[in-house]
A and B are shown apart, each in its own frame.
Chain A
Amino acid sequence: MAKTILAVDDSSSLRQMVAFSLKAAGYLVIEAVDGQDGLEKAKLQTVDLVLTDQNMPRMDGLALIKLLRALPAYQKVPILMLTTESSDEMKSKGRAAGANGWLVKPFDPQRLIEVVKKVIG
Chain B
Amino acid sequence: MTRKKILGSHLKRLLSGVSDHGKSHLSEVETDLLQTELLLEEAVDKLTRSFMAIHEAVGARQDSINLLLAGGTPSADEIARMKAMSGEVGVHVNSAITSMQFQDMTSQLIDRTLKRVTGLRAFLGTLGTHSAGVNAETGSEEIVDLLGKVSMVLAIQSLELRSVLRKAVNQQHLESGDIELF
Query: How distant is the Cα of A103 from the Cα of B175 in the complex, in angstroms?
Result: 13
Give chain B interface residues in 84-127, CB to chain A under 8 Å: 93-94, 97-105, 107-108
Known: A86-B177, A106-B98, A109-B98. A99 touches B182 (CB 8 A): yes
Closest chain-A Cβ to B48's Cβ sits at a distance in Å of: 17
- In the bound complex, residues from chain B placing their C-beta under 8 Å from that of A111 are 176, 179
| Residues in A whose Cβ lies below 8 Å from that of B99 | 106
Tell me if A55 is interfacial: C-beta within 8 Å of chain B: yes
**Is B94 within 8 A of A108, CB to CB?**
yes
Does B64 sit within 8 A of A, measured CB to CB? Answer: no
Chain A residues contacting B174 (CB-CB under 8 Å) are: 106
Our count of residue pairs bridging A and B at CB distance below 8 angstroms stands at 87
Nearest-neighbor residue (CB-CB) of A101 within chain B: B181
Residue of A whose beta carbon sits closest to that of B170: A86
Judge whether B168 is part of the interface by a CB distance below 8 angstroms: yes
Interface assignment of A102: CB less than 8 Å from any CB of chain B: yes
- Tell me the smallest distance from the CB of B110 to a CB of chain A, in Å: 13
Give the bracket for the number of chain A residues in contact with chain B. 20 to 34
Indicate if the CB atoms of B98 and A13 lie closer than 8 Å.
no
Query: Which of B97, B108, B177, B181 is in CB contact (< 8 Å) with A17?
Result: B97
A84 interface residue per 8 A CB criterion:
yes
With contacts A101-B179, A108-B176 taken as known, whether A21 is within 8 angstroms of B97 at the C-beta atoms is yes
A104 touches B178 (CB 8 A): yes
Complex contact A106–B105 (CB within 8 A): yes
| Inter-chain pairs besides A13-B101, A107-B101, 7 sampled, C-beta below 8 Å | A84-B168, A91-B180, A100-B181, A101-B180, A106-B98, A106-B174, A106-B177
Residues of B that sit less than 8 Å from A by CB: 93-94, 97-105, 107-108, 168-171, 174-182
* In the A-B complex, the 7 residue pairs with the closest CB atoms: A104-B177, A108-B176, A106-B101, A101-B181, A11-B104, A109-B94, A84-B169
